[in-house]
Amino acid sequence: MQDLSKFHSQVSQMFKWPETRAEWDQYRLTPGQIEYYKEFGYVADIKFITEEQVGFLNEELIGLVDPDHPGNFLFHQFASNESPDPNVVLFHALGAWRITPGFHDVLWNPAFVMAASQLLGDRAVRFWHDQLFYKPALHGGVVAWHQDYSYWTRTIPMHHLTCWVGLDDATEQNGCLYYVPGSHRWGLLDKPELAGDMEGLMQYLTDEQKAEFKPVPIPLNKGYGTFHHPLLVHGSFENRSERMRRAFVLNVFADGTLSDTDKELMPGATPIPKGEKMTGQYHPLLFDPAMLVNK
């Protein structure tokens, strides 16, 4: 089984890489979208992939959820059920980009990398890690309220960004994302168990934050997604519907982010000494806006 993390460009023809500035312009977020992100901590309803691409990725996902998949050893983390409650299921895994062509090449989706660069202040974008989430019908588990960066403090400074893309229509009934608008201004909070008590974060909030805690649902059609700030509080409730809810997540940071530990940053990854730039096999450069200067 070949480790696709050794390839820092597309390995298929899934996406057409733009050749000129004009071709890139179609993928830019509008000024209004960028201002919305700054004010509320997220921007939603962005089309990232076609229905055909959704189908291709879901075919790959069918194999990847099987612990006996021949590429399973390449996952950094793999949990058939991350929930502590056996009556509900939350499949969660990191490292799919190393295993299948589709989940590898979504890192080089022009619609993703251009918008990510804009939201990071028009900076070059470097890969952090990916995630797969799968909530089966009728007994899908929660993702508790949390901030992403509370799990990422081994990297500094905080120039991070999360992109969530649905592989099914995400609704309030099957466990869509919920965001707490404006919570990206609350500072760094303690981290709860990701698939534990939905309300575990509340013990870390001040009375003022609790008063401002007003989550909004983010329903999305499959192939559409969101970006959110690393400190934005978010989560998703159980799937009690008769429809599954699948998604992938791409986490990135601005080029120049540093390691803040001498330990491995993810299971199975080569450690990057504390204070050194995050780079190498597992953190490829995805996009640099400087490449467009002479286009």
293 pLDDT higher than 80: no
| Total domain count, the chain | 1
* Residue 41 within a domain: no
Q: Given pLDDT bands bounded at 50, 70 and 90, which one contains residue 1?
A: confident
pLDDT for the residue numbered 165: 98
The amino acid sitting at 46 is I
Q: Given pLDDT bands bounded at 50, 70 and 90, which one contains residue 291?
A: confident
**Which CATH number does the domain housing residue 272 bear?**
2.60.120.620
pLDDT for the residue numbered 290: 93
Phi, psi angles (nearest 5°) of residue 182: 85, -10
Identify the H or E element spanning 119: helix 110-119
Q: 28-61: per-residue pLDDT in tens?
A: 999 999 999 999 999 999 999 999 999 999 999 9
Token representation of residue 207: 């009375």
* Residue 6 within a domain: no
Q: Mean pLDDT, to the nearest integer, of 209-223?
A: 98
What range defines the domain where residue 143 resides?
47-243+253-292
Residue 4 contacts by C-beta under 8 Å, 6 or more apart in sequence?
11, 97, 98, 99, 100, 101, 104
Q: Mean pLDDT, to the nearest integer, of 276-283?
A: 98
| Percent of the chain surpassing pLDDT 90 | 96
294 pLDDT higher than 90: no
pLDDT for the residue numbered 248: 98
* Residue 17 within a domain: no
